[in-house]
Chain A
């Protein structure tokens, strides 16, 4: 149980275009989903927390107009990187949280974004 999928697993796009990444909890309902970014050999960095049906909460320094998050249902959250630039190239990972204590989070396999 507790499986989270992400799509696509990798994407290459041109600078200035937008990319949408989907995160789905396959066998449980996730009221809260989290989006992370990880650069090579660096730690996970939380970008935002999204709750179903409400606006996402962004971490300090993360541009909410650039990284659009939508959590339309209890099993689906999307991250859209708008007007992507080469510096946005990174490994984007979502996690979905169980709604009951101890609030375990399960991670998707990640999306590797390369902006050329």
Chain B
């Protein structure tokens, strides 16, 4: 059973702090990894994809991938109340259908 695991939270950080979200995956052959943000009652929004070991930065967001440890993380710098949402980690399932294997999500609350 291929799995993606995340801490459900809630993770609570003060405004302006760094929020750190973590994810582990079971399939060592996975190649593509994604972070999505989902506000309550809305559909998921892609924040970032990553497929090479190391860091990838986009604005206030940094994704980190360590394939040896089967670990993906997302850092949000200068957290804002508008970042309060559920953050979903997803991994492409090996095979032809390219469907995503999802974590259950981490709820983030940024307090003003």
A residues near B, CB below 8 A?
2, 32, 34, 43-44, 46, 49, 57, 91, 93, 95, 97, 101-110
Report A57 CB to chain B, min CB distance, Å.
6
Return the contact of B45 from the options A44, A49, A107 (Cβ within 8 A): A107
Residues of A contacting B104 with CB < 8 Å? 43
Q: Are B34 and A57 in contact (CB under 8 A)?
A: no
Chain B 16-47 interface mask (CB, 8 Å, partner A; 1/0): 00000000000000011010100001111110
Q: Are A49 and B44 in contact (CB under 8 A)?
A: no
Inter-chain residue pair count (beta carbon < 8 A): 51
Report B96 CB to chain A, min CB distance, Å.
9
B interface secondary structure, majority: loop
Q: Are A102 and B100 in contact (CB under 8 A)?
A: no
Chain B residue total in the interface (Cβ 8 A): 22
- Chain B minimum-CB-distance residue to A31: B98
Taken together as a complex, chains A and B put the C-alpha atoms of A7 and B23 apart, in Å, by 33
Q: Which of B44, B49, B50 has the most CB of A within 10 A?
A: B44
Q: Are B43 and A32 in contact (CB under 8 A)?
A: no
Return the contact of B98 from the options A97, A106, A107, A110 (Cβ within 8 A): A97
Q: Are B97 and A101 in contact (CB under 8 A)?
A: no
